[in-house]
């Protein structure tokens, strides 16, 4: 095993797949000459050249369309968005073309493409740079949506995403690029659509994904001091979602708290709550609790932002609620 940063895991995954398959290429703003806005493509221009590591203008709609079109001629592009907030400029291409090419061509064309970059908040970046759109993309048939929470998962999941024959939305975090973790020296992949139990427990299930899951870990440590055993599931992929993993855990613990950095209306945790009440209702000893951001645009003020974003204290309150404490 070796210890690397999150950004290095992303870079290694892309580089290894580009060495493996000449049809894979990377394009986006500042990915080449600047080594990536977050240095996640450092050294790739030198290794692969300007034909496979392509700097683009600030024109997300344009380069998204170019990349999607190139899949129909045998390429496997990786499109980096400086932030998924900017993907809204190109969302017509993602939703109306990438997600629908396979069906609308009667299976004649596939669309093996990865759209990757940071999602959700990252401190005082203002309302327009602090949004989580996982549920927007996950609502769309034809797209797969992946949100890793650590270095090991990021590398293994990205390699699988690049090899996948369908479009994959791969969502990272600006606040995780400096995170460190261990990965194997050799090659490995992690299948899409498979959740992982990050912490075994018996009293309550906490389901989360992405960087916000760190708050669940903090909460579980505090709750353990009270004698409450938390099982933490990292979804890793929200579409397809590993529903069996959620149901199996809830049937064991009989309680569920879902932690998601997203506006509360119509999000991933809403779908999880519906799943559990419809397929594991008789196992529940308490109503499902979901913990999300406040139902407002993200504030710039650090005091207001701290109130807007869920933290471990809210997770503890949620667990106490389902435990009737």
CATH 3.40.50.920 in the chain, residues?
A: 196-323
pLDDT at 107: 96
pLDDT band at 215 (very low <50, low <70, confident <90, very high): very high
What is the per-residue DSSP string for 240-288? TT-HHHHHHHHHHHS-EEEE-SS-STT-HHHHHHHHHHHHSGGG-SS--
Distances (CA, A) of 48 to 41, 45, 154: 11, 5, 22
pLDDT at 178: 97
pLDDT at 183: 98
Handedness of CA 99, 105, 106, 109 (dihedral sign): negative
CATH 3.40.50.970 in the chain, residues?
A: 2-183
Determine the topology of domain 2-183 in CATH: Rossmann fold (3.40.50)
60 as an active site residue: the answer is: yes
Q: pLDDT of 38-64, one tens digit each?
A: 999 999 999 999 999 999 999 999 999
Beta bridge partners of 26: 53, 78
pLDDT at 233: 98
Catalytic option among 60, 80, 215, 231: 60
Record the pTM.
0.97
Residue 162: phi, psi to the nearest 5? -65, -35
36: left (phi over 0), alpha (psi -120 to 50) or beta: left
320 as an active site residue: the answer is: no
Which candidate, 232, 315, 250, places its Cα nearest to that of 287? Answer: 250
Catalytic option among 129, 215, 260, 261: 129
Mean pLDDT of the chain: 98
Report d(CA 319, CA 299) in Å as an integer: 27
Which candidate, 16, 82, 69, 76, places its Cα nearest to that of 44? Answer: 16
Report d(CA 243, CA 241) in Å as an integer: 6
Which candidate, 35, 30, 37, places its Cα nearest to that of 45? Answer: 35
Residues 234, 196 contacting (CB under 8 angstroms) = yes
Between 3.30.70.980, 3.30.450.20, 3.30.420.40, 3.40.50.920, what CATH number should domain 196-323 receive?
3.40.50.920
pLDDT at 220: 98
pLDDT band at 228 (very low <50, low <70, confident <90, very high): very high
Please compute the mean of the pLDDT values over residues 211-232 and round it to a whole number: 98
User: Is residue 291 reached through a cis peptide bond, with omega within 30 degrees of 0 on the bond before it?
Assistant: no
């Amino acid at each position: 095993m070796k210890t690397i940063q999150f950004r290095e895991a992303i870079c290694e995954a892309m580089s290894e797949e580009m060495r493996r398959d000449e049809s894979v290429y990377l394009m986006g703003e500042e990915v080449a000459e600047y080594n990536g806005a977050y240095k996640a493509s450092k050294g790739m221009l030198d290794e692969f050249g300007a034909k496979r590591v392509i700097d683009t203008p600030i024109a997300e709609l344009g380069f998204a369309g170019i990349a999607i079109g190139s899949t129909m001629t045998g390429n496997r592009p990786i499109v980096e968005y400086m932030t998924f907030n900017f993907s809204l400029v190109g969302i017509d291409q993602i939703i109306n073309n990438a997600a629908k090419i396979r069906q609308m061509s009667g299976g004649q064309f596939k669309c093996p493409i990865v759209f990757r970059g940071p999602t959700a908040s990252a401190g005082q970046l203002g309302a327009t740079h602090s949004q989580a759109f996982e549920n927007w993309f996950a609502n769309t048939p034809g797209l797969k949506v992946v949100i890793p929470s650590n270095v090991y998962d990021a590398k293994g999941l990205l390699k699988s995403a690049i090899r996948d024959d369908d479009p994959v939305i791969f969502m990272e975090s600006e606040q995780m690029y400096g995170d460190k973790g261990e990965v194997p020296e050799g090659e490995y992949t992690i299948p899409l659509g498979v959740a992982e139990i990050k912490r075994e427990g018996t009293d309550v299930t906490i389901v989360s994904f992405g960087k916000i899951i760190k708050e669940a870990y903090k909460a579980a440590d505090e709750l353990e001091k009270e004698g409450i055993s938390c099982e933490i599931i990292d979804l890793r992929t929200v579409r397809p979602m590993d529903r069996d993993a959620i149901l199996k855990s809830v049937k064991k613990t009989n309680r569920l708290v879902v932690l998601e950095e997203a506006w509360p209306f119509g999000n991933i945790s809403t779908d999880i709550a519906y799943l559990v009440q419809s397929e594991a209702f008789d196992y529940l000893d308490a109503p499902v609790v979901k913990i999300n951001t406040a139902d407002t645009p993200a504030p710039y003020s650090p005091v207001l932002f701290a109130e807007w974003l869920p933290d471990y204290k809210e997770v503890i309150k949620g667990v106490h609620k389902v435990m009737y404490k």
